[in-house]
């Protein structure tokens, strides 16, 4: 399916309106998974022409994503990854866990960005960072698209390695997301130490329901109950 290539339009706007000289693009992966971390990549690209075919990682085949990631990690000016563990997600809730992972990614960059382009509608990062949210920024903004590809490929690799230890869960294929194989393995073996055991899928596992963790952050629990975190279980 044809798609419009991403541009530097938002970055140029930020530079013109705020005086920002260094702008980072941010994207996350793993928000809707049952297992594994939520991972965030922060990428700085400058205003150079991007590699051919760059777009939202979800629009690329796994093979093309991997190939493009190898190009991007040397093409970008700099990038860094940040992760929040399943335990942190269970304890803090997804919004706070996303912020933690994003801050870890931003603080891992060799330079501090003057502004950040954040994929999506909601600013889960907040002060003191200067943030511009862009819906479908992973398709329209070059830096966010680069972050999208790197984050997806690196997290998928982490989950594939984890799958060597937990073969029945087929993490190499599902990356910790819901799938028939994943659900069957949960029913038979229960959650691994890498599962998010505060989530509602645990309610459908009678043998393992006693392992469900009650989230200790009331605000985060209220957000999830209100459907504001984007889960669909």
Residue 140 has pLDDT above 50, yes or no: yes
Residue 165 has pLDDT above 50, yes or no: yes
CB 65 within 8 A of CB 89: no
Least confident piece of the model among 58-67, 170-179, 181-190: 58-67
pLDDT at 233: 25
Give yes or no for a cis peptide into 128 (omega within 30° of 0): yes
Residue 217 has pLDDT above 80, yes or no: no
pLDDT at 138: 86
Residue 52 has pLDDT above 50, yes or no: yes
For residues 54-65, average pLDDT: 88
pLDDT at 226: 42
Other residues' Cβ atoms within 10 Å of the Cβ of residue 123: 14
pLDDT at 108: 97
pLDDT at 180: 95
d(C-alpha 192, C-alpha 97), whole Å: 20
Q: What confidence tens digit (pLDDT) does each residue in 11-51 have?
A: 999 999 999 999 999 999 999 999 999 999 999 999 989 98
Least confident piece of the model among 96-100, 175-179, 223-227: 223-227
Residue 153 has pLDDT above 80, yes or no: yes
Sign of torsion over alpha carbons 101, 104, 109, 111: positive
Q: What confidence tens digit (pLDDT) does each residue in 98-107 have?
A: 999 999 999 9
Q: CB neighbours of 209 closer than 8 A, spacing ≥ 6?
A: 202, 203
pLDDT at 232: 32
Q: Which one-letter DSSP state was computed for residue 130?
A: -
Q: Which one-letter DSSP state was computed for residue 49?
A: P
pLDDT at 219: 52
Residue 223 has pLDDT above 50, yes or no: no
For residues 156-179, average pLDDT: 96
What residues are paired with 81 via a beta bridge?
41
pLDDT at 231: 34
């Amino acid at each position: 399916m044809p798609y419009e290539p991403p541009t530097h339009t938002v970055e140029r706007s930020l530079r013109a309106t705020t005086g920002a000289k260094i702008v980072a693009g941010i994207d996350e992966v793993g928000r809707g998974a049952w297992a594994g971390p939520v991972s965030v990549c922060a990428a700085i690209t400058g205003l150079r022409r991007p590699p051919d075919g760059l777009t939202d990682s979800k629009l690329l085949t796994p093979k093309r994503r991997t190939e493009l990631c190898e190009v991007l990690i040397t093409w970008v000016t700099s990038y860094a990854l940040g992760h929040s563990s399943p335990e942190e997600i269970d304890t803090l809730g997804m919004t706070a866990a996303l912020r933690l992972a994003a801050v870890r990614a931003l603080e891992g960059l060799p330079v501090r960005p003057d502004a950040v382009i954040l994929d999506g509608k909601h600013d889960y990062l907040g002060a003191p960072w200067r943030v511009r949210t862009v819906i479908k920024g992973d398709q329209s903004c070059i830096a966010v698209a680069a972050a999208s590809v790197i984050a997806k490929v690196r997290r998928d690799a982490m989950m594939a390695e984890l799958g060597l230890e937990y073969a029945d869960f087929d993490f190499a294929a599902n990356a910790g997301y819901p799938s028939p194989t994943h659900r069957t393995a949960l029913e038979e073996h229960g959650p691994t130490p890498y599962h998010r055991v505060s989530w509602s899928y645990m309610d459908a596992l009678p043998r393992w329901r006693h392992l469900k963790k009650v989230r200790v952050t009331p605000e985060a629990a209220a957000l999830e109950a209100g459907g504001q975190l984007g889960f669909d279980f």
